[in-house]
Structures are given as structure tokens and as C-alpha cells.
Amino acid sequence: MRSNFVDYVKINCRSGKGGSGSTHLLRTRQTAKGGPDGGDGGRGGHIILRGNKQFWTLLHLKYTKHLIAQGGGSGGRSRLTGADGEDIIIDVPLGTVCKDELTGEIDCEIIEEGQMVIIAKGGRGGQGNDHFKSSTFQTPRYAQPGEEGQELWKVIELKILADVGLVGFPNAGKSTLLSVISAAKPEIGDYPFTTLTPNLGIVSYRDDKSFIMADIPGIIEGASEGKGLGLRFLRHIERNSLLLFMVPCDTDDIKKEYNILLKELENFNPELMDKDRILAITKSDMLDQGMIDEMEKLLPSGIKTLFISSVARKGLVELKDLIWKILNEEIDR
């Protein structure tokens, strides 16, 4: 099945050329040899990104390789300015990043509804001959041509905006958790990489509150070097406020697995180490209290840990309480 989730596109942007200034000289029944009255050319059309929270993917841009904005109109008589070229406005999801394809430099990040950023400026219109008259040169017969527009290749990337990002190896139970505590319906299965695209879910909390949780495709050792699904999805974790690490209780060495996950994130982007973290030991419905007590002695230090089971609904209320407190800075850091 072909996915509708697209988080990377490359497009060619060509803004509009500015309109030419006019070289018109005033001619009326009363004035046979009037002075210059040529108007300015209009601005060429811009290419603009606009934030739209109704979008969640770049699918609508997948087959749009070239965007060509309209040129500006030429100036006219009586100092009439030409019409501006029509802008091309591209709606993109919140969390979209625009980069220069050649340098890789970030041009802008779209993170607010209605935010508009010009990524290719239209050329300025040329000045009409009226601008060039002087006391010594009263009838200039030339005007400026319009400025050329820009032609640029841009990379448009989506980094998911979510409060909580789920981090874990394949089959850690991330999709199951998201399906249980939100209305999201991710694909779930007993084989690696069931989740091939990020899934977002709105998690309801007490008194009509809510937060957004993102199920990121499973990380494997070496993901920061491009192995597995690799770098393609690690970038989605960058925008999450809180990282929820998930390790199954039947893992041979929970502390080792957690440290591997942590190391992959650090290799990808050291700034991720500054984010708040929670460790959830999943599938813990198969554990009794004595086993939990023994496992707690072997858990990594310096991170708040909960034992949960999505299937048995065990520990989910406590998990949501802890997430909410951290997101709202209600507990000691």
C-alpha cells in the first residue's frame, strides 16, 4: 500500500520578473510635446510558504516539481504603475522547514498557523522615464527594464510538531500505546518496522485537556548513520518537547537498550539530550510485584521510570499524569 505521508520534497521555484518601466511622453490635444509621464513596472510574483494546520503531510507537493510565478505588468502612460505579478502561495503543515538545495542552509521554519514567508522574491519593476527627467534633461526616452526573478531549488522538509515523541526499537509497543490512549489507528503487527511513517494522536487528559503524541518509526542501532529507516525519521524527534523511551520488559538488558537508543539520538543531534525524558517498561502485565522490584534495581538512573501495559491498561493513567506534569513544568526537574 502506498503511503500518503510525504515529509520531503524538492521543488524548483521561479519568481516573476518585474515589469518594464514606460518611456511614454505626454501627448494630448493641448500638449504636443509634453514631458515624460511613463509609469513604473509592477513587481514580479513572489513564491510564498504559508502555515496551515489543516495539512499534515507534503503529499500535495510531491508531484509539483516547478513553481513559476507571474511576471509584473509594464508601466503605462500618465505615470500608471503596472500590475504586480500574482504570487504563488503554498500551504504547508506546521513544522515545515525550507532549505536551500545547494548550501543546505535553512531559509525558514513554519511553526504558526497563517505564518507566511517568501522563499523566492519577485523581481522589482523598472522605473519609468518620469524618474529620469531633470532640469538639464527634460525628455528622457529611456526607462529601466524589470528586475529578473529568482530561480532556486528548495528542499521542503517536515518535522512533526508534537508534545511527546515515542522512542524505541521496533516492536517496543509504541503503536499499541498510541492506539490505546488516543484516537489514532496506526498499523500494528508482530514484525519489525510495522510503522513506516510517523503517526500523530491527540491524547485526552483530565478536564478536557489534551496533548499530542507522535509514534516515530522504530530506531535500530546505527540509525544515526543511516541504517534501517535512519535519518529520515530521526529528525521528527527534534521538535518533540518530551521523549518517551519505551523498552519491553522481556528485553535481555533494559539499561543497555535504553543507552543504545540514547546514543543514537545523541549522535544524530546532541541537543536532543536537553529534552525531558521518561522511560516506560512495556508489556509489564506479565510481571508480578516481586519481579518488578528486582527489575527496578537494574534500571538506568537519572530518568523517571514507569511500568505499563497498553493491552491491560496498566499504568496508563499514571503515565499521562507524569507527561502532563512535565509538559507543564509542574514537577522539579
pLDDT in tens, 9-65: 999 999 999 999 999 998 877 776 778 999 999 999 999 999 998 888 888 898 888
Which residues, 6 or more positions from 273, have their beta carbon under 8 angstroms from its beta carbon?
A: 262, 265, 266
Residue 96 clears pLDDT 80, i.e. is over it: yes
Q: Compute the distance between CA of residue 205 and CA of residue 207 in angstroms, rounded to an integer.
A: 7
pLDDT in tens, 193-244: 444 566 777 888 887 788 888 887 756 555 445 444 445 556 677 777 899 9
Residue 142 clears pLDDT 50, i.e. is over it: yes
Residue 302 clears pLDDT 80, i.e. is over it: yes
Residue 178: name the closest of 197, 192, 191, 158 by CA: 197
Strand-pair category, 151-158 with 199-205 = unpaired
Which range, of 81-95, 115-129, 247-261, averages the lowest pLDDT?
Answer: 247-261
In this prediction, residue 47 carries a pLDDT of 97
Domain architecture of the chain: domains with CATH: 1-158 (2.70.210.12), 164-327 (3.40.50.300)
Cell readout for 329 is 513544568
Is residue 301 within 8 A of residue 255, CB to CB? The reply is no
Concatenating the DSSP letter of every residue in 233-274 gives: HHGGGGG-SEEEEEEETT-S-HHHHHHHHHHHHHHH-GGGGG
In this prediction, residue 38 carries a pLDDT of 94
Which residues, 6 or more positions from 179, have their beta carbon under 8 angstroms from its beta carbon?
A: 185, 186, 188, 201, 310
Instruction: Indicate whether this model's pTM tops 0.85.
Output: no
pLDDT in tens, 159-170: 877 789 888 887
Specify the higher pLDDT residue, 208 or 89: 89
Concatenating the DSSP letter of every residue in 77-93 gives: STTPPPPPPPPEEEEE-
Which residues, 6 or more positions from 264, have their beta carbon under 8 angstroms from its beta carbon?
A: 219, 221, 222, 223, 224, 234
Residue 177: name the closest of 273, 248, 238 by CA: 248
Distance between terminal CA atoms of the chain?
A: 44
Residue 258 clears pLDDT 70, i.e. is over it: yes
Mean pLDDT for 113-138 is 93
Give 182's pLDDT tier (boundaries 50, 70, 90).
confident
